[in-house]
Amino acid sequence: MKIIFFYPDKLTQELFYKYQNIIFCDRDNFFFYNKKTKRREKIKFAPLKIINQDINLVIKEIRSWSSVWSRDTDKGDQIDLYQRYLLNKYFEFYQLMKNEKFKLALFFIAIPHHLDALLIDLVCRNLKIKQIFFETISSLLPYPKNLLIPLSQHKYFMERYIIKNRISKINFSQTIARWSEKLKSDSNIETHRIVHIDEFSYSKNYYISYLMCLFYYSYASMRQFIGLNKKKNISNYSVLTHLKQLSQQRNFLRFYNQNSLKNLDINLKNSLIIIANYQPEGTSFPMGKDNNNHIDILFKLRNLGYKNKIFYKEHHDTQNFYLKIIQNTRVGSARSVDYLKILKKLNVDFLPMNLNVNSKAFDNILPITISGTIAIERSLKGLKTIVAGNPWYIKMPGIIKFNSLEKNFNLQTINIKKSTSIQKKTISFLNNELNYKSIINAPGLGMLEKKYDSKSIKDYRTKIERIIKIFK
């Protein structure tokens, strides 16, 4: 059976380099192992043939990715033409992947959240190629940080689940129990110091981050211009766009802090609070599907007839301008002063970013998240959360689906009191979903440090082979 590896990291490429049934794909090109030359060589795209597909449906799908356009391109005046460029790439990928008869695709990313990944995901879905994505455990549990969880996605966009098969001996029962107890102890802490996992001293400093961006992207553009950077990327931001986004982000943060409620004793009881997802990020789009923007969510709430004050707490990571792992965080593409002014028009008050949403003050409220881990944390405490997106935990106890809210709903009709039943069922749910499903994160996907011994690397390869065998 032919298998395709999308975006394999350097370590994965080395481990599976000589596997003849495995094809590597790095954004724009496909590479097979030539037994004669003992090298990976490009598969040439065949001349395009007429494919029996509804072009309008493909274009409609591409247009539906509007939430990610600002993440990958600043050429707004050429978006329409750019969509046709992607349409052409779609049929190139489609034809090649159909001819090669792939049955399984492994993505060494957590979720398709850039244009090229979304394009390949669409091809896989239309060809009914089974897909496996690798999510870092740190986005699901607070510790440990060196594991990956495989998620399966077959036919429908963003309908994904943790694979059911046992692939390791790693049990999270004690971790989940400790996390549940820690959440109880944190209930007395109203505010907390925020430290990003990848934070550097300059990450929250606008001027240093500005200089870092100016140097990094100017250097990258120069290398691209003189032909030293051979790796093509669909993303085509200009240096000026990166700098403009930093400025927009700074103005956003100033306005937010100036207009946030200062009194921490404010009565939040029986209130709706939007716990904002970090943006731009895959946890918002594509995972949010049609509910990927907080402004849209607010309009929908008002259209449902909810008239009371709504509170909004911005994600603390919006304070980071520049991170080594991703350079410009691009927060400025999703956040601006105008964004906040629209929220205020919808009768929204802003809460300080350093508020601990797991404190007792938040026990008698009903938060809304697109797909944040706040929902898992609250269910572990026996509390409910409205979830607007479609994360893997959507069937977890305590979850209220946003799309299930009825006209003229209010918090009096929803029982938001703490429930020991929800807590116990959530612990059971997480154990059933996560136990014996993880593999060592030897490539260091989504991590800065990649220090693993030969035993860990061997175990990683064995587990990847195990996953391939399962889905054969």
- pLDDT tens, 45-68? 888 776 777 888 888 888 888 777
Q: Exposure string (b/e) for 272-304, b if CB count within 10 Å is 16 or more? A: bbbbbbbbbbbbbbbbbbebbbbeebbebbeee
Per-residue pLDDT, 14? 94
The number of residues making up the chain comes to 472
Q: What is the pLDDT of residues 184-232, one digit of tens each?
A: 776 655 555 444 444 556 788 888 888 888 888 888 777 776 766 655 5
Judged by DSSP in three states, 277 sits in: coil
Per-residue pLDDT, 264? 60
∠ Cα 442 209 73 (to 5°): 75
Average pLDDT over residues 370-379: 92
SS (H, E, C) 87-127: HHHHHHHHHHHHHCCEEEEEECCCCCCCHHHHHHHHHHHHC
Q: Which residue has the higher pLDDT, 67 or 177?
A: 177
**Contact (Cβ atoms closer than 8 angstroms) between residue 384 and residue 270:** no
Q: What is the pLDDT of residues 15-43, one digit of tens each?
A: 999 999 999 998 788 999 999 999 999 99
Q: For the packed helices 337-345 and 239-259, what is the interaxial angle rounded to 10 degrees?
A: 40
**Contact (Cβ atoms closer than 8 angstroms) between residue 380 and residue 288:** no
3-class SS shares of the chain: helix, strand, coil, % to 5: 40, 15, 45
Domain ranges across the chain: 2-170+436-471, 179-200+233-431
Q: What is the pLDDT of residues 296-351, one digit of tens each?
A: 999 999 988 898 899 999 998 899 998 877 888 889 988 999 999 999 999 999 99
d(CA 384, CA 375) in angstroms, rounded, equals 8
Q: For residue 328, which phi and psi values (nearest 5 degrees)?
A: -60, 125
Per-residue pLDDT, 231? 55
DSSP code per residue over 127-178: TT-EEEEEEEGGGTSSS--SEEEEEEE-SSTT-EEE--S-------HHHHHH
Say whether domain 179-200+233-431 belongs to CATH 3.30.70: no
Per-residue pLDDT, 412? 76
Average confidence score pLDDT of the chain: 86
State which amino acid sits at residue 353: M
Per-residue pLDDT, 198? 45
Beta-sheet pairing, 102-107 with 2-6:
parallel
Per-residue pLDDT, 234? 42
Q: For the packed helices 420-434 and 173-185, what is the interaxial angle rounded to 10 degrees?
A: 140
Q: Which two tokens stand for residue 41?
A: 């060589």
- Which residue reads 């975006």 in tokens? 7
Cut 0.95: pTM above it: no
- Which residue reads 């997480």 in tokens? 430
Q: Which two tokens stand for residue 273?
A: 């609070």
d(CA 422, CA 385) in angstroms, rounded, equals 12
